[in-house]
Structures are given as C-alpha cells and as structure tokens.
C-alpha cells in the first residue's frame, strides 16, 4: 500500500509501506510510542510540512536526514508526531480527590520531611502542572511550612517553550471559575488583549524541562505524586510495564500515581499499587 500527499508544488510525495514502517520503528525506538496502520494519514499530515521545510524530495530522503546522528531535524520529527491535547483541570475528579483526600495525607506524612514533590510527566503546554500549582496554592500547602515543587516534563521542546511562558488564549480558561481566574491569572490588555498569563506564585512552583520517558531519568525523587495521564494509551504493554515499574521506584512511601481516564494498570506491576478509583493508584505498603 502506498499513500500520497501534496507537497507544495513539488508534485505528489509517496509514503510507501516500507517508509511508514521506518517512521513507526524510529518513533518507537526514540519514544516508545507505538503507531498502528490507522495512523498513516496522521504521519503524512504531520510530516509533509517538515519535508517542505527541509526541501527533501521523498520520505526516504527525509528519514535518512532524521536518522543522521546529531541532525537537529530529529527533534522536529519527534515534535511533529507527538500529540499534545490538554486543558486546565482536565479530569476534574482527579483534582477533587487531591483536595478532599490526598493533600491532607501528604502534609501529615510526606515522602520527605518538610517537602512535597510532584511530577507532571507529560505536561504538554503546561495546563496540567499549572492546574496542580493552583490547586496546591488554594489548599494552602505553601503556607504550611512545606517546600513545594512541581517538575513538569515533556518530550516536545516546542510545547515546553509555550508552557514556560505561561500565556494562553482566553478561551483556554473560560471554564475556570471567575474567583480562581482572578487569583491566579493576569488578563492581557492592549497588544495582549485576549490572552491570560499565570501569576508568579503558581509559575514559581513549576520547573519545566525536556525529558524522553524512555531515556535515563536524572531526578532521584522521591515524589509524592506523579501525573502520567493519557500517555500509556500510546505504548505497548511491555513499555507500560516498564514505565509503571520506574514510577513505582521513584515514588515515596505510599505515593500516588495518576493515569488517564481511559487507561488502566494491568500485568505484574498492578500488584505494586492499590487502586483508589478514578484511575488513581497508591503505592502499596510493604
């Protein structure tokens, strides 16, 4: 099977079965993401602009460029094919559980005395870690003598750049209650009209850094809470098992792991956690 795509006046570029397999193998090797054949059209749509930008004349030539050791196009390749869908307080049941049960338990018995550490492991453009920062501030955890920090990581360098700015179109926050908006966001005016920006107290809690989840992790933990939501769905069972095991090792005593609403924990590593409902899991004692 061969798929074709228009390429900006340079004729029709073909994505052959072999080239699609190369894309899939390269993406899986670099990120652990598993693409199925139904994603062929997505690959064409996402990579066609990169072929035009690099002036490569075929997918084979483009993939040769990406696989060339040290070529910066490899990062653009990954950025193009990784999906970034998020919004503030996504999956509100998770934030309700944090407020109603978990925050008090963490303050009473943090993984490390006097400090709380959170990790947003696929933070995209920042809405998730900033939502977590807002929830922490509104719960007053910063006023309880605790050193509170949020690590926010993603493989995509472009979305991380947007996340660090902490600036969003107003329609991205239109479902946030007005009192919360006033406490934690500045409203843009003049040339910034239509934009909002996270205020310093929430921004200062979050540290953004680029990280491929399948590379070595520089941080040692322990973390009290890890968010890795809507990520497992892109991985095969073996990769999910590996990640779950590594998250378990990095969580402190009775730490919490949050997955996405359509995800589950299966296989041998499921025995390492107690399910709390709503795809939230607590590190098992013992």
- Between CA 255 and CA 126, with CA 112 as vertex, the angle to 5 degrees is 60
The residues that are catalytic are 46, 154
Residue showing tokens 């997918």: 59
Neighbours of 190 (CB within 10 A): 5
Residue 11 phi/psi, 5° resolution? 85, -165
On whether the CB atoms of residues 130 and 166 are closer than 8 A, the answer is: yes
Strands 147-154 and 206-210 come out as parallel
Residue showing tokens 């590593």: 269
On whether the CB atoms of residues 150 and 182 are closer than 8 A, the answer is: no
Residue 127 and residue 159: Cα distance in Å, rounded? 11
Residue 179 and residue 183: Cα distance in Å, rounded? 6
Q: What is the DSSP string of 109-145?
A: S-SBTTEEEEEETT-TTTHHHHHHHHHHHHTTGGGTT
């Amino acid at each position: 099977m061969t798929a074709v795509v228009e390429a900006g006046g340079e004729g029709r570029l073909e994505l052959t079965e072999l080239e699609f397999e190369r894309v899939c193998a390269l993406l899986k090797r670099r990120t652990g993401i598993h693409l199925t054949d139904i994603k062929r059209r997505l690959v064409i749509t996402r990579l066609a602009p990169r072929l035009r930008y690099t002036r490569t004349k075929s997918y084979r030539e483009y993939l040769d460029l990406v696989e060339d050791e040290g070529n910066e196009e490899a990062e653009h390749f990954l950025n193009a094919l990784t999906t970034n869908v998020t919004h503030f307080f996504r999956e509100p049941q998770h934030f309700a559980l944090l407020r109603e049960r978990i925050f008090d338990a963490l303050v009473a018995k943090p993984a490390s005395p006097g400090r709380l550490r959170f990790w947003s492991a696929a933070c995209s453009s920042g809405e998730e870690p900033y939502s977590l920062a807002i929830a922490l501030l509104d719960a007053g955890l910063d006023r309880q003598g605790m050193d509170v920090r949020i690590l926010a990581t993603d493989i995509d360098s472009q979305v991380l750049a947007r996340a660090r700015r902490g600036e969003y179109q107003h329609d991205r926050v239109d479902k946030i209650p007005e009192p919360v908006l006033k406490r934690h966001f500045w409203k843009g005016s003049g040339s910034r009209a239509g934009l909002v920006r996270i205020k310093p107290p929430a921004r200062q809690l979050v540290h953004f850094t680029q990280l491929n989840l399948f590379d070595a992790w520089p941080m040692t933990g322990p973390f009290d809470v890890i968010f890795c939501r809507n990520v497992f769905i892109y991985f095969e069972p073996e990769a999910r098992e590996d990640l779950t095991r590594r998250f378990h090792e990095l969580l402190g005593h009775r730490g919490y792991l949050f997955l996405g609403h359509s995800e589950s924990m299966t296989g041998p590593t499921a025995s390492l956690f107690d399910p709390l409902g709503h795809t939230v899991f607590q590190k098992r004692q013992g």
